[in-house]
């Protein structure tokens, strides 16, 4: 099966995908900051460079895109029809790295919270953010 876009369009689309400051990340950051939580961003000293680091609570938060991190059972995780094998290898490698980094962080004594982008869609967002704030302080 061929791609629905030409090479130039596909390249442009892929170049617009961000690794930091994504919309889900901004939503979480604004909510937590507005509720008095202070954090560090993308601490390079910690395994996996967590999106948010809360030293006061010895907690890190990862905000994952459902596609890039292979969120099982999620409607936003659909394997592309083209280059299927390559995409599956890439996504499975991301999941493997997530597991390895979580293990390293736990060994260092950090609590790990993960938020998937689908949980920040309208209808889920308020509940997700409130649960996240509650879990940070426990």
Domain boundaries, the chain: 21-137
pLDDT of residue 97: 97
Kindly indicate the confidence band of residue 52, based on its pLDDT and cuts at 50, 70 and 90: very high
Residue 75 has pLDDT above 80, yes or no: yes
How far apart (Å, rounded) are the C-alpha atoms in residues 71 and 36?
30
Condensed to tens digits (0 to 9), the pLDDT of residues 32-46 reads 999 999 999 999 999
**Who wins on pLDDT, 50 or 78?**
50
Choosing among 3.30.70.141, 3.30.360.10, 3.40.960.10, 1.25.40.20, the CATH entry for 21-137 is: 3.40.960.10
pTM assigned to the model: 0.86
When pLDDT is averaged across residues 95-117 and rounded to a whole number, the result is 97
| Helix spans in 1-138 (H) | 7-15, 23-34, 84-107, 125-137
Residue 13 has pLDDT above 80, yes or no: no
How far apart (Å, rounded) are the C-alpha atoms in residues 84 and 69?
15
Per the CB < 8 A criterion, the answer to whether 129 and 117 are in contact is no
């Amino acid at each position: 099966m061929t791609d629905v876009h030409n090479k130039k369009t596909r390249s442009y689309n892929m170049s617009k995908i961000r690794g930091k400051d994504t919309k889900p990340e901004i939503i979480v950051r604004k909510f937590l900051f507005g509720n008095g939580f202070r954090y560090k961003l993308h601490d390079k000293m910690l395994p996996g460079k967590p999106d948010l680091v809360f030293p006061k609570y010895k907690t890190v938060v990862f905000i994952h895109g459902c596609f890039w991190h292979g969120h099982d059972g999620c409607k936003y995780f659909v394997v592309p029809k083209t280059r299927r094998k390559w995409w599956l290898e890439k996504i499975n490698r991301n999941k493997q790295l997530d597991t390895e980094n979580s293990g390293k962080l736990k060994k260092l004594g950090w609590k790990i919270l993960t938020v998937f982008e689908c949980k920040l869609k309208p209808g889920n967002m308020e509940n997700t953010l409130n649960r996240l704030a509650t879990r940070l302080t426990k």
